[in-house]
Amino acid sequence: HTARFTLDPAFAVSPVDGRIFGSFVEHLGRCVYQGIYEPGHASADEAGLRTDVLDLVRELGVTAIRYPGGNFVSGYKWEDSVGPREDRPRRLDLAWKSTESNQFGLSEFIDFVRKVGGTPMMAVNLGTRGVAEAIELQEYANHPGGTALSDLRAEHGDAAPFDIRLWCLGNEMDGPWQTGHKTAEEYGRLAAETARAMRQIDPDVELVACGSSSQGMATFAAWESTVLEHSYDLVDHISLHAYYYPTDGDRDSFLASAVDTESFIENVVATCDHVGARLKSKKRINLSFDEWNVWYQDGSGPTLSDEGRGADWAEAPRLLEDNYSVTDAVVVGSLLIALLRHADRVKVACQAQLVNVIAPIATVPDGPAWRQTIFYPFAQASKYGRGTVLDVRPQSPTHETKRFGTVDLLHATAVRDEETGAVSVFAVNRSQDQALPLEVALAGLDLTEVVEHSVLADADPDARNTADQPDRVTPHAGAGTTLVDGTLRATLEPLSWNLIRLG
């Protein structure tokens, strides 16, 4: 009952686009306020950013950061969020039934992104707004100067353009919950015309059209097809969103969530390429998996606190503050493996979200910031998952799951650093009670030692970190891992995430 695969650099999937280790900052709950921004906090810098959070974001290794939503963006008036703070209006946020103070806005976001060494991924509002407001925002953000809006930015204290290269054309426009929800025809036309206008300002911007909010949407695939028929030549990526949580306590199916992620990716690729074929186009549309995570959407999982939706227009209420377990972290690791395995088409991905709201980082107002369990697989994948993904085709023992049928116990990928030749193997054992022996044959790889085997697993699969016990769950060293005569041998603990580094 050993799982096996072969690694050979002659069989590679694709170089990794570092932007797949992206994240997401939405004006939702305490992601911005009391999350990344808390002016009165002991660690706050001159801009009101919590430096303890900045440190954790850097450690997490986040690249592209999507902003300002999410559902929030479909009511967003960017003009409210710039200029002197005392003049910024307070507005109703229809998406989260909150009050938005606009004390944190576009300039503050760019400052944040620069301080963490990330790339901004800005969404425009195609819910309540359209082409005009999108190009006005683009002019304000990116034009060097000499026009009303670019000079206004300079007057607001930002002489240098923000140089935002990556833009989302709205958010989840297929979802009936979205303010300004549209049919695929309506959205496809609007996305195309917005893209055309944005390219009139700058032909080189990278644009993401909205795909489906999940593979389960009734309009899935037909939506992508129609949207791309209108916008194929004008956009670069189509978005995917997916959240997972266990239903009816079915942990085996939950641990196999990435089966859905991989089929979702493959179905979107097929749909994109089908439209490309019909249009006789050589161009390929890439995928932006710009919302993914574990999220107990039915409220069944432990939360640090959740005041519930409809909190009567409160300011920065505690919303969606899921408290993640070891099991959740193993699923997050498996979702990262799914993204890496499809690095040939997935060029951007954002874990949703970054701080407090379904997030790897949590904060206590006036208190410390700490790492949830899901922090660790993300940080390790971002740090060691750079290079070229090798084609991993495991032969693995299987088990039966209610939701996905027969599923491999092993889920794995491997990334080779082209400069050093070092290889990182990322592997999940989906079995709740069986250790899984792993054998990897190394062909054409000059590797001689196991540099590290790091494991996230626990005797209690529900173990979690909290503000009081922030280090209850941390990675530990794996035992007995060897590399002899070109064969790596390891034992993967039950229900575990593993990073094995070979040098």
- Catalytic residue ranges: 172, 291
User: For ligand AHR, which is the closer residue by CB, 346 or 352?
Assistant: 352
d(CA 198, CA 205): 8
Q: What is the DSSP letter of 394?
A: -
Q: Which residues contact 493 (CB under 8 A, 6 or more apart)?
A: 429, 435, 455, 457, 478
CB of 236 to ligand AHR, least distance (A): 20
Q: How far is the CB of 210 from ligand AHR (least distance, A)?
A: 10
Q: Which lies closer to ligand AHR via its Cβ, residue 204 or residue 298?
A: 298
The residue (of 28 and 407) whose beta carbon lies closer to ligand AHR is: 28
CB of 91 to ligand AHR, least distance (A): 17
User: Which CB atom, from 139 or from 172, has the smaller least distance to ligand AHR?
Assistant: 172
Question: Least distance to ligand AHR from the beta carbon of 119, Å?
Answer: 19
> Dihedral (C-alpha) 225, 226, 229, 233: value to the nearest 10 degrees?
-80
Cα Rg of the chain (Å, integer) = 22
| CB of 58 vs ligand AHR, minimal distance in Å | 22
Give contact residues for ligand AHR (rule: CB under 6 A): 26, 28, 69-71, 171-172, 213, 291, 352-353
Please choose, from the candidates 343, 327, 353, 359, the residue with its C-alpha nearest in 3D space to the C-alpha of residue 250.
Answer: 327
Q: What are phi and psi for residue 235, nearest 5 degrees?
A: -120, 165
| Cβ burial 43-80 (10 Å sphere, 16+ → b, else e) | ebeeebbbebbbebbeebbbbbbbbbbbbbbbbbebbb
Q: N- to C-terminal Cα distance for the chain? A: 27
Q: CA-CA distance, 204 to 195, in Å (whole number)? A: 11
Q: Per the omega criterion (within 30 degrees of 0), is the bond before 9 cis? A: no
Q: Which is nearer to ligand AHR, 79 or 172 (CB)?
A: 172
Neighbours of 384 (CB within 10 A): 22
Q: How far is the CB of 70 from ligand AHR (least distance, A)?
A: 3
* Largest Cα–Cα separation, the chain: 69
**Phi first, then psi: what are they for 444, rounded to 5°?**
65, 25
CA distance 138 to 142: 6
Q: Write out the two tokens for 94.
A: 């229809």
Q: How, if at all, do strands 450-456 and 476-477 pair? A: antiparallel
User: Between 353 and 372, whose beta carbon lies closer to ligand AHR?
Assistant: 353
Cβ nearer to ligand AHR, comparing 35 with 69:
69
Asked if the bond preceding 175 is cis, omega within 30° of 0, the reply is no
- Give the H or E element holding residue 50: none
**Minimum CB distance to ligand AHR, residue 291 (Å):** 5
